[in-house]
Amino acid sequence: MRKLSIVLLLFFLTGCEYSPSKHDVVNTHGHIENLRLLEDFVEDVSMNKDSEVRVVNYTDEGDPIIHDLTYSNDEIASKIDTREDEFGTQVVMEDVCESINKIEKNNHTVYQLEGCEGSQDVLQVTSIPND
């Protein structure tokens, strides 16, 4: 019992840091991993095929913002989790949107949700600098 208490104490003292899976799209300050998964999601939506993807964007301080997207029944459910962001709002925001678009802007490629029902009509999923 004493060993279990020590292990639990160490767990709470060190915190539980988010570790992305190999199935996540990860954007670390413009360096992106698994972009193909996001592109597959965009294609699935255009073909009206149920799909889901997780996009993890890291803040300047190195904290993850987790964005889960699920497409089903002609709508995209968006869930943005900022609870791991030490300097953020520490909330989970959910919305339903009509479409996802890939837009070339100046020197960036932006993936964004449009036609959202919440407080913002457009939600950015991720932004990638063009080399």
Residue 35 lies in a domain: yes
Q: Is 18 a residue whose pLDDT tops 70? A: yes
Q: Please give the model's pTM, rounded to 2 decimal places.
A: 0.86
Residue 37 lies in a domain: yes
Residue 108 lies in a domain: no
| Residue 69: exposure state from Cβ atoms within 10 A (0-12, 13-18, ≥19) | buried
Domain hosting residue 72, numbered range: 22-98
Q: What is the mean pLDDT of residues 78-90?
A: 95
Q: Hey, how many other C-beta atoms are within 10 angstroms of the C-beta on 56?
A: 23
The values of phi and psi at residue 28, to 5°, are: -110, 90
Give dist(CA 13, CA 50) in Å, integer. Answer: 40
pLDDT digits (tens, 9 = 90+) for 34-55: 999 999 999 999 999 999 999 9
Q: Is 1 a residue whose pLDDT tops 60? A: no
The values of phi and psi at residue 77, to 5°, are: -85, 130
Look over the chain and give the mean of its residue pLDDT values, rounded to a whole number: 89
Give dist(CA 73, CA 96) in Å, integer. Answer: 11
The secondary structure of 69-130 as a DSSP string is: EEEETTEEEEEEE-TT-TTS---EEEEEESEEEEEEETTEEEEEEES-SSS-SEEEEEEEE-
Residue 109 lies in a domain: no
Residue 6 lies in a domain: no
| Count: domains in the chain | 1
